[in-house]
């Protein structure tokens, strides 16, 4: 973290929250989910430019984006038309412990960062339930996670997140810019090559979308 940047209130970093068996169980749940909800590559609103990550979701709602309709939550997979698979119990437990919210999460976005993938600085704006934290679980290769303030272009700091780490964006941090500069390919053996050709990193983000 750079000397001049102060982390926003509500930011929490829980290194090694999930041990290796728990990480492997989460990856198994992702693999099982992709049988009915395969990874797809979403497109940016208006330009239609593809995102560098592949995505799928768990939960009653899933975050999607395409050229025509932009960023939003949908109850069904854009390609199969099927409902998203259920959120795994270990993630519901995580929510219960750290989200500081009375209602359950409605969406768990699954991002797959293959080597070379990144995520530009953004704020999660598409949820009405802004009082609930966003919980982020890192699995697989390490990545440089960057967080700033509520204005684009302000000071930022970064941490290297590893497999099993959890980041909590609650309070003021819920409305702060954040992104992923890069991943560090080959720094984890968690992702099975058979299901994740080329390896990389899986990030799970749990969100409450609607106000209860």
Return the one option of Mn ion, ligand SIN, none that residue 188 interacts with (CB less than 5 to 8 A, by type). Answer: none
Which CB sits closer to Mn ion, 176 or 190?
176
DSSP letter at 99 equals: S
Q: Does 205 bind ligand SIN (CB under 6 A)?
A: yes
Which CB sits closer to Mn ion, 106 or 124?
124
Q: How far is CA 98 from CA 33, 58, 134, 171, 177, in A?
A: 24, 19, 9, 12, 20
Of all residues in the shown chain, the one whose CB is closest to ligand SIN is 203
The site string for Mn ion over 106-125 (x = CB under 5 A, - otherwise) reads ------------------x-
Residue 48 to residue 77: CA distance in whole angstroms? 18
The site string for ligand SIN over 21-60 (x = CB under 6 A, - otherwise) reads ----------------------------------------
Which CB sits closer to Mn ion, 29 or 180?
180
The site string for ligand SIN over 72-111 (x = CB under 6 A, - otherwise) reads ---------------------------------------x
Residue 108 to residue 86: CA distance in whole angstroms? 9
Q: How far is CA 200 from CA 24, 73, 116, in A?
A: 14, 25, 9
The residue among 108, 137, 112, 81 whose CA lies nearest residue 195 is 112
Longest dimension (CA), the chain: 48
Q: Does 17 bind ligand SIN (CB under 6 A)?
A: no
* Token pair of 202 as six digits: 């899986």
Write out the residues near ligand SIN by the rule CB under 6 A.
111, 119, 136, 145, 178, 180, 203, 205
């Amino acid at each position: 973290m750079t000397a001049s940047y102060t982390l926003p209130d509500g930011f929490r970093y829980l290194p090694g929250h999930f041990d290796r068996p728990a990480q492997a169980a989460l990856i198994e749940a992702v693999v099982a989910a992709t049988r009915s909800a395969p990874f797809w590559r979403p497109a940016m609103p208006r330009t239609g430019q593809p995102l560098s990550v592949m995505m799928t979701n768990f939960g009653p709602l899933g975050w999607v984006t395409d050229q025509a309709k932009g960023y939003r939550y949908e109850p069904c997979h854009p390609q199969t038309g099927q409902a998203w698979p259920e959120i795994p119990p270990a993630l519901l437990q995580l929510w219960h412990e750290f989200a500081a919210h009375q209602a359950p999460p409605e969406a768990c976005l699954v991002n797959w960062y293959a080597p070379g993938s990144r995520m530009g600085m953004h704020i999660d704006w598409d949820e009405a339930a802004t009082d609930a934290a966003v919980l982020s679980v890192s699995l697989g290769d390490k990545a440089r996670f960057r967080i700033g303030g509520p204005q684009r272009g302000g000071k930022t700091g970064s941490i290297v997140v590893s497999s099993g780490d959890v980041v909590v964006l609650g309070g003021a941090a819920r409305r702060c810019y954040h992104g992923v500069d890069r991943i560090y390919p080959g720094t984890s053996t968690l992702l099975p090559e058979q299901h994740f050709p080329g390896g990389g990193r899986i990030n799970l983000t749990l969100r409450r979308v609607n106000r209860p």
